[in-house]
A and B are shown apart, each in its own frame.
Chain A
Amino acid sequence: MVWELPVRIFHWANVLSLLVLVLTGFIIADPPALLSNAEPYNLHTFGIVRFIHFTAAYVFFFVMILRLYWAFVGNQFSSWRAFWPFSKKMWTNFRHVVKVDVLLQNEEKRNLKNLSIGHNSVATLSYIAMFLLALLQIATGFGLYADMSGWWLPKLFSWVPAFFGGDFMVRSIHHFSMWAFILFALVHVYLVFYHDWLEGRGEVSSMFGGFKFVRNERIKKSE
């Protein structure tokens, strides 16, 4: 077992909430032009879109907290230690992955140890970046939301607009980081397929079932 159930739940809840957030986000940023004779007395379309956006934001926020919790109680692949970027091992692996998987050079001699069981280090680093970006998204999002909310949680972020010099700036940052999520998703999905195609270890299905194909001798060592 590489990805435990909470990790998988986190992953798919995250995917779903991000998808919803991006779609509704685009609608909110640039609402579709509808010419109609409608009067607003029994229409609440845009309000509903925004409601979905805010709901998905809460889902996004709370699965993030779940994942953080799991980084302390989960297995070695989901532990915060796997994400710690200041170890020598991490950076040797980083160089290897860049050489073999990004620049597509072939190795003279294959070394199994170079093949990560969990995330490889380029992936871990990108997840750290995405995590920081998610924090930014949460801070700017809740910062914009804080004034409409009566709850203390979003209100914790009411300092954000003042910090960035007004709502307008915060909106722009929120909008830009959304694009970073989209670009990340593109690369992420491609690389998952790439690894599955090349290494045949069940990279894609591992996020559904949790298992990857790993040689016997490595399993003993890792447990």
Chain B
Amino acid sequence: MSESNEKRKTYYESIIKQGYSRRDFMKFTTYMAAFMGLKSTMVGQIAKSLETTPRLPVIWEHYQECTCCSESFIRSDHPIVADIILDKISLDYTLTLMAASGHQAEAAKNETMRKYKGEYILCVEGSIPLGDDGNYCCIAGKTAKQAFLEAAAGAKAIIAWGSCASSGCVQSAKPNPTEATPIHKILKNKPIIRVPGCPPIGEVMAGVIVHVVAFGRLPELDRQGRPKAFYSKRVHDSCYRRPYFDAGLFAETFDDKNSKEGYCLYNLGCKGPSTYNSCGTLKWNNGVSYPIQSGHGCIGCSEDKFWDNGPFYERIPKVPGFSIEASADDVGKVAAGVLAGGIAVHAVAANISKRKELAGRIKRGKSNEQNIDS
């Protein structure tokens, strides 16, 4: 865009130019440090780094997705996030929010890729379809895969926004007609920050970007490539209904008394105990609420293949291949029943087949007994 010709400003300069005060800026850095779980002494470092580093260009790609990640991001808690990081300054290319369109938009992207090779941040929203030569998702005459590999080649850091880019989400659910593929399966030679969630929490997204910007490197990632600061705890572990879980008080249906009392939603299929995210602490829409607080169980949207992980409203997994809705326990019970029947049949058959041997043994036993007596 137009600014790419100017000398690159630092984040601080941009923020001040945007009309925020120094005080607002310090609030913002404190805020971010808290989100990232940093010590208060680190606030200075973030501030300093934002004051001195020139802004990083961001290319934000949209593939097979619903834009809920972008929606979530622009509703992030602090206005500076939307204003500075996303909206006005950093974003060189994003289909949804940029003013330019068509050839102009593509030109801006190519310009950034050329001029800032090895410096820009590539954010990917959406999965990449590989089926039918990738024709299910084409932008500006290129398939999503081509566009992604091109943009990824010169990227300083790659961020997979949301469950689509990091695990495929709904379009990769069985039978996955378009062969929707998460980006880490397409690009193997570069580290990718996976920020799963459908969508991820806006503050988490801001935290990840600010971390990359402020410290110049990727945040600490867990084994699945997710930033530890936000994905190291289960939703269950920070749930305000946890005391009900520990007390064994559960809602059984959505309209029973227990549910009205705010009991634990475990029996209604809440996936909080197997989902890693920070919904319980950061919450959504400026900390207003989150699914469990609204009386609905967690559906585990930030877990891999959450659409295929069984029904949202039941505890025990369904078994594919067995009768339509057989749960693991049904299969187990039937197996146990069949086995018990088999054992009974075996016992009867043994009595018939081994009757001679048995009779002989009993006879010998009896004669032994007589020998003892006499």
Shortest C-beta distance, A120 to chain B (Å), equals 16
Partner pick for B316 among A36, A175, A194, A198, CB 8 A cutoff: A175
| Complex A-B: 21 CB contacts under 8 Å | A30-B316, A31-B267, A34-B250, A40-B243, A40-B246, A46-B247, A104-B346, A104-B350, A104-B353, A106-B356, A162-B223, A167-B275, A167-B303, A168-B300, A168-B303, A168-B309, A182-B332, A183-B332, A186-B340, A187-B339, A200-B365
State whether A44 touches B247 (Cβ < 8 A): yes
Contacts of A49 in B (CB 8 A): 248
Q: Does A6 contact B (CB under 8 A)?
A: no
Contacts of A106 in B (CB 8 A): 353-354, 356-357
State whether B249 touches A34 (Cβ < 8 A): yes
Shortest C-beta distance, A38 to chain B (Å), equals 6
State whether A148 touches B237 (Cβ < 8 A): yes
Contacts of A31 in B (CB 8 A): 248, 250, 266-267
User: What per-residue 1/0 map shows which CB atoms of B313-342 lie under 8 Å from chain A?
Assistant: 001110000000000110110011001100
Shortest C-beta distance, B289 to chain A (Å), equals 21
A158 to B30, CA, bound (A): 32
Partner pick for A33 among B267, B306, B365, CB 8 A cutoff: B267
Partner pick for B347 among A158, A167, A190, CB 8 A cutoff: A190
Contacts of B335 in A (CB 8 A): 179, 183
State whether A172 touches B328 (Cβ < 8 A): yes
A206 to B344, CA, bound (A): 24
Whether A167 contacts B266 in the complex (CB less than 8 A), given A34-B249, A35-B258, A38-B249, comes out as no
A30 to B248, CA, bound (A): 11
Give the number of residues in B that approach A within 8 Å (Cβ atoms).
57
Q: Which residues in window 153-188 of A have CB below 8 A to B? A: 158-159, 162, 165-172, 175-176, 179, 182-183, 186-187
Q: Does B106 contact A (CB under 8 A)?
A: no
Contacts of B252 in A (CB 8 A): 33, 35
In addition to A29-B316, A171-B274, A183-B336, 16 A-B residue pairs with Cβ atoms within 8 Å of each other are: A37-B261, A40-B249, A45-B248, A104-B350, A106-B356, A159-B223, A162-B222, A168-B300, A168-B303, A170-B274, A171-B317, A175-B316, A179-B336, A182-B336, A183-B335, A186-B340
Q: Does B116 contact A (CB under 8 A)?
A: no
User: What per-residue 1/0 map shows which CB atoms of A178-210 lie under 8 Å from chain B?
Assistant: 010011001100100010001010000000000
Q: Return the chain A residue nearest B315 by Cβ.
A: A30
A165 to B250, CA, bound (A): 28
State whether B274 touches A166 (Cβ < 8 A): yes
State whether A200 touches B361 (Cβ < 8 A): yes
Shortest C-beta distance, A188 to chain B (Å), equals 11
Contacts of B343 in A (CB 8 A): 186-187, 190
Whether A166 contacts B339 in the complex (CB less than 8 A), given A30-B267, A198-B357, comes out as no
User: What per-residue 1/0 map shows which CB atoms of B198-226 lie under 8 Å from chain A?
Assistant: 00000000000000000000000011100
Whether A166 contacts B248 in the complex (CB less than 8 A), given A147-B233, A147-B237, comes out as no
Q: Return the chain B residue nearest A165 by Cβ.
A: B304
Contacts of A34 in B (CB 8 A): 248-250
Shortest C-beta distance, A103 to chain B (Å), equals 9
Q: Return the chain B residue nearest A163 by Cβ.
A: B223
Shortest C-beta distance, A167 to chain B (Å), equals 3
User: What per-residue 1/0 map shows which CB atoms of B232-275 lie under 8 Å from chain A?
Assistant: 11100100000111111110100011100100001100010111
Q: Return the chain B residue nearest A46 by Cβ.
A: B248
Contacts of A148 in B (CB 8 A): 237
Partner pick for B247 among A45, A165, A167, CB 8 A cutoff: A45
Q: Does B305 contact A (CB under 8 A)?
A: yes
Q: Does A47 contact B (CB under 8 A)?
A: yes
Contacts of B328 in A (CB 8 A): 172, 175-176, 179
Contacts of B149 in A (CB 8 A): none
Q: Does B66 contact A (CB under 8 A)?
A: no
Q: Does B310 contact A (CB under 8 A)?
A: yes
Q: Does B98 contact A (CB under 8 A)?
A: no
Q: Does A43 contact B (CB under 8 A)?
A: yes
Q: Return the chain B residue nearest A45 by Cβ.
A: B248
State whether B246 touches A44 (Cβ < 8 A): yes
Contacts of B353 in A (CB 8 A): 104-106
Q: Does B100 contact A (CB under 8 A)?
A: no
Partner pick for A198 among B232, B237, B305, B350, CB 8 A cutoff: B350
